[in-house]
Amino acid sequence: MNPLADTSRILFRVDANAQIGWGHFYRCLALAQMLQKDFDICFAMAAPEAATLSALSEKGFEAIALPAQEYTVPDERGTQELSFDLGNQLDKIDIVVLDGYWFGPAYQQALRKYPVKIAIIEDDGKGCYWADLIINHAPGIMPQAYYAQPYTQFALGLEYALLRPAFLEQARKVRSFDKIETLFICFGGSDFKNLTQSTLEVALEFKGFKKIIVVTGAAYQFTEGFTYLVALDQRIDHRHSLGEPQMLHAMLEAELAIVPASGILFECLAARLLVISGTYTENQLKIYEGFRKLNIFFDAIDFSPSNLSMALKAVFRSKNENQVTTIDGRSYIRLQQIFSALC
């Protein structure tokens, strides 16, 4: 927390759990770390779990526990909105950052009654908003896609990539390799479709890999089949629930990654990995489509075994050129400027 008495205060309203995942939380945490030098930061979360409270405490951020909310999984949310729950938490708050599909128009309009600025992080690439700032770091998103207000500002595209400090620093470095021997696989915190296991099964068919690093998240439900695979092949190096430095280190050990079109794709590109990516949920589509148009990854489409196998074969047929990305590691400078102007 910034000790200066006159420091502007930002409240992040975001939730995370096994049902809705941790992606929203981690990109808010990334933005909070970008801004913490100039702002006083706190997080308000509905029934926060021990892992999220620990992550916030480790970074020095205050956590406000709100009552539990009824959630639906992202692809089945329909028109459901959360009821407004910040009425008693806005004293001396200058900016509220919302991240979650459930903070809809009614929630935003209730928040507009308070003397705060509203920033929204979103990945739909469209919608109706009553925000002072909309952040969407997917490539190819245009302001015209939104129904916003005359005062709304936009921070769109890779220039505003929401990356944690270690990955921002890595994005500013040069990395090169001349062969592909180590594969990195990760499908996020819960991987409710268990694509980790099916992807690993396909990868094991490719004998060119000397090492396969498999990272599972805190909420991953281990299956008998996955445990059997890990014990079956000594090339597999399984790591579980990694922190920021450990995750970056695992990526830098590899030359190729298989990850979904979510926040971890941005991290792999910042680490200058060759990437195979695809999508398996609706909320990944805009990121997937944006990067696919840039021809910046090998396309596994839906991660089916046949599509994944074709993508892996395409990698080995290629010239193994190092990944080129427009993530420059300087998004924190741009976002600091925008938030300072909001105040």
115 and 139 both lie in a single domain: yes
148 and 259 both lie in a single domain: no
158 and 15 both lie in a single domain: yes
pLDDT in tens, 55-89: 999 999 999 999 988 776 655 555 578 889 998 99
pLDDT at position 1 is 46
130 and 243 both lie in a single domain: no
284 and 244 both lie in a single domain: yes
Name the nearest CA neighbour of 183 among 261, 266, 276: 276
Q: List the CATH number of the domain containing 133.
A: 3.40.50.11190
**pTM of the complete model beyond 0.85:** yes
Q: Which domain holds residue 245?
A: 167-317
207 and 126 both lie in a single domain: no
34 and 173 both lie in a single domain: no
240 and 261 both lie in a single domain: yes
Report how many domains make up the chain: 2
* Pair type for strands 133-136 and 62-66: unpaired
pLDDT at position 324 is 61
Would you say residue 4 lies in a domain?
Answer: no
pLDDT in tens, 143-180: 999 999 999 999 999 999 999 999 999 999 988 888 99
pLDDT at position 318 is 86
pLDDT surpasses 60 at 325: yes
pLDDT band at 18 (very low <50, low <70, confident <90, very high): confident
pLDDT band at 204 (very low <50, low <70, confident <90, very high): very high
**In 191-315, where do the E strands start and end?**
211-216, 236-240, 256-260, 274-278, 298-301
Strand partners, 215: 186, 239
125-150 per-residue burial string, b: 16 or more CB within 10 A, e: under 16: beeebbbbbbbbbbbbbeeeebebee
pLDDT in tens, 85-132: 998 999 999 999 999 988 989 999 999 999 999 999 999 898 899 999
249 and 195 both lie in a single domain: yes
104 and 189 both lie in a single domain: no
Would you say residue 277 lies in a domain?
Answer: yes
Q: List the CATH number of the domain containing 207.
A: 3.40.50.2000
Contact 303, 280 (CB under 8 A): yes
Would you say residue 108 lies in a domain?
Answer: yes
Would you say residue 144 lies in a domain?
Answer: yes
